[in-house]
Structure 1
């Protein structure tokens, strides 16, 4: 069973591609969901993040307000790097556990790690191939604004704080173009499932 790393910039539509892959029979490991879990109160990264960023990133119930944290880190590369250092090792540990579990069950054609920071988290080494989701920057900005309810400048800042398309493409074995229709994405996914599954 092959392990595929699925990545791409914010707003590229990795979630849509992931859903298409799930429907086509792949096991999906969602690094974003794991990241949300490990920053909860009582979990590994919570104390380090609240110590560094302060209590103003907390909601009334004491949990980290992810939107507020996102606004801070996407405007400051140093703070984003700190966040990543605090979380990546825990994310990698949980991903390794979920890969082992999926392999033991053996019911899926592929295991796909959906991870925006696949390279930064050191996950490339455990992947048989890297698939990168692409979308035009204009499309990405619109999606980010709609998804997160943020302003144009904030959406652009998020994109600028990530790798360039050239950098993403440099480690891709496959590129999935998600600038168009869902049917086009489904067609690309079907082709890749045949090739790798």
Structure 2
């Protein structure tokens, strides 16, 4: 079972690559979905977040108020480190459980871990291949501004708190250049899939 890490900065086109791989038959494990699941109401992780950051981090229905939590940790390295110490071990355990589940269902499955913070949190894991979706910063700023309604300042701030392009590209076995038409991104992804299935 090939285990592929797919990463990229915000607005890099990573989700487009993940969707294309899924359309070919890859089992995609979405790190953001894993994070949401381990922080679900009643979970130990959510209890720890409430204990560390206060009851105001919860909505009236008991779910996590992500905007409130983000406002507390954004730009505060100490608080962000405390949050990561709560969340990351649980995400690692759950993602690995999902990898094992996929392998059990189909030992030949190509499993893709769609993980935005690979360089920050999981770079040393034993991936068979690391794929980076890459677009220049200015392109990503324009995407955040034009498609997500962010101001340029907010877009640059979001990009700045993530790993640099250089840090991500140093990890890459394969780079998919998303700074072009969708058809070019899809063609590069199709080539990657052909490589993965030839090797499987």
Same fold (TM over 0.5): yes
Partner of 2:68: 68
Give the corresponding residue for 2:189. 189
Counterpart mapping for 1:157-168 below 5 A:
157-168=157-168
Conservation of the 8 A alpha-carbon contact between 2:28 and 2:114: yes
Root mean square deviation of aligned Cα: 2.0
TM-score between both structures, scaled by the size of structure 2 = 0.88
Quick one: distance in 2 between partners of 1:68 and 1:179?
33
Residue 50 of structure 2 corresponds to which residue in structure 1?
Answer: 50
SS of the aligned residue for 1:9 comes to coil
Offset, 1:105: 1.5
Shift of 1:146: 5.5
Give 1:41 shift. 1.8
Structure 2 SS opposite 1:175: strand
Q: Distance in 1 between matches of 2:36 and 2:65?
A: 10
**Cα offsets for 1:54-108 (capped at 9, x unmatched):** 2333223231111332333332233222222211111111111111111112176
Q: Which moved more, 1:144-153 or 1:92-101?
A: 144-153
The count of corresponding residues between Structure 1 and Structure 2 is 197
What is the SS of the residue equivalent to 2:130?
strand
Unaligned ranges ≥5, structure 2: none
Paired residue secondary structure (1:176): strand
TM-score (norm 1): 0.89
Question: 8 Å contact 1:25–1:108 — kept in the other structure?
Answer: no
Structure 1 CA distance for aligned equivalents of residues 67 and 144 of structure 2: 13
Equivalences for 1:11-30 in 2 at 5 Å?
Answer: 11-30=11-30
Helix, strand or coil: the match of 2:118? coil
- 177-186 or 56-65, which moves further after superposition? 56-65
CA contact 2:7–2:131 (8 Å) conserved in 1: yes
CA contact (8 A) 2:131 2:175 kept: yes
CA distance in 2, matches of 1:65, 1:145: 24
Asked if the contact 1:89/1:121 (under 8 Å) is kept, the reply is no
Residue 137 of structure 1 deviates from its aligned partner by 1.3
SS state at 1:60 partner: coil
Secondary structure of the equivalent of 1:121?
helix
How do 1:110-189 and structure 2 match up within 5 A?
110-122=110-122, 124-145=124-145, 149-189=149-189
Shift of residue 147, structure 1, vs aligned partner: 5.9
Kindly indicate whether the alpha-carbon contact (under 8 Å) linking 2:119 and 2:167 is maintained by their aligned counterparts in 1.
no
